[in-house]
Amino acid sequence: MINKALRRWEANPLSSIKEFAAHNAPDQRFNLGFPVGGLILRETIRDLPRVDNENFETWRHNFDHAWLTADEMNSFVPSNPEVGHKYQIPEKFARRFAAFHLVDQVKGEADAWKRSEVQMAIMEAEVMKQQDDKVQIRLHGAARCVKPATGEVNPYSRTKINQDRGVDLNIRGWLTYDTNSKSFTRFDVIAAGDRWGAATYNFRSGDLGRAPIGFAFEMLPVVSVNKTRPKFLMWSYFN
């Protein structure tokens, strides 16, 4: 079949091929690569134990990768590294982080949140300790994302999405910055709280109530083997 298609393609006049190429430019989103000087976080998503159901299975989990640009990474570096110094992480990054990475993917596929569906995304930092060339930073914040019912029907289960879905989370982080190497040696972040509702393909139609969920992020070395693309990279990820 491939050989047949190639023969038909090669049989086209050169003018037709050039005209096709002129009106069908490659999607530049496919060319997005890891940002120079950026940071890689490995994300783990899982259900957390339920107080009202001690037998609920929490072993299911899923993974993704988060990419930070050099500017975003530097926004976590304190301008004043004195103990007690507090500062705000740019809201633009907090909202991007929430939109693409605080998504319930534990059991299946779910769309990223639209920016309008990110009702709140706040990250604040505080310098907790400074010793020699190491600055220890504590991160705290919160995020809430809600998507209205779409009415979409899963073509396999015939389940209709007739209620909203969302997450309501607290964010905590522990970071260590090396002022000598100008790099982070630790970048651990967790977001935990409640999820509810279902997406069309995330297998939550039988589990619609509020229930605990956790998102954990840990820094990975910036080497080729770790540069797995974030799931939503082509969704205007850095904009």
pLDDT digits (tens, 9 = 90+) for 176-215: 999 999 999 999 999 999 999 999 999 999 999 999 999 9
Question: What pLDDT, in 10s, does the model give residues 65-117?
Answer: 999 999 999 999 988 889 999 999 999 999 999 999 999 999 999 999 999 99
State mean pLDDT over 1-25. 77
Q: pTM for the complete prediction?
A: 0.88
Question: Could you tell me what percent of the chain has a pLDDT over 90?
Answer: 74
Q: What is the DSSP letter of 194?
A: E
Q: Which two tokens stand for residue 176?
A: 């260590």
Measuring CA to CA, which residue among 42, 24, 87, 5 is closest to residue 228?
A: 42
Distances in Å between the Cα of 201 and the Cα atoms of 26, 60, 230 are 29, 16, 19
**Is 86 domain-assigned?**
yes
Q: What total number of domains does the chain contain?
A: 1
List pLDDT tens digits, range 128-166. 999 989 999 999 999 999 999 999 998 888 989 889 999
Q: Is 142 helix (H, G, I), strand (E, B) or coil?
A: strand
Backbone dihedral angles phi then psi of residue 228, each to the nearest 5 degrees: -65, 135
* 203 belongs to a structural domain: yes
Contact (Cβ atoms closer than 8 angstroms) between residue 213 and residue 106: yes
Classify residue 11: in a domain, yes or no: no
Instruction: Indicate whether 32 belongs to any domain.
Output: no
How many angstroms separate the first and last alpha carbons of the chain? 40
- The parent domain of residue 128 ranges over 37-226
Residues 6+ positions from 168 with CB-CB distance below 8 Å: 143, 144, 193, 194
Copy the structure tokens of residue 105.
């993917």
Does residue 6 lie in a domain region?
A: no
25 falls within a domain: no
User: What is the layout of strands, in order, in the sheet containing 165-178?
Assistant: 61-68, 39-47, 211-220, 183-196, 165-178, 134-147, 118-131, 86-88
CA distances from 25 to 5, 13, 18, 29, 31 (A): 20, 19, 11, 11, 12
State both tokens at 40.
């890689």
Is residue 186 included in any domain, yes or no?
yes
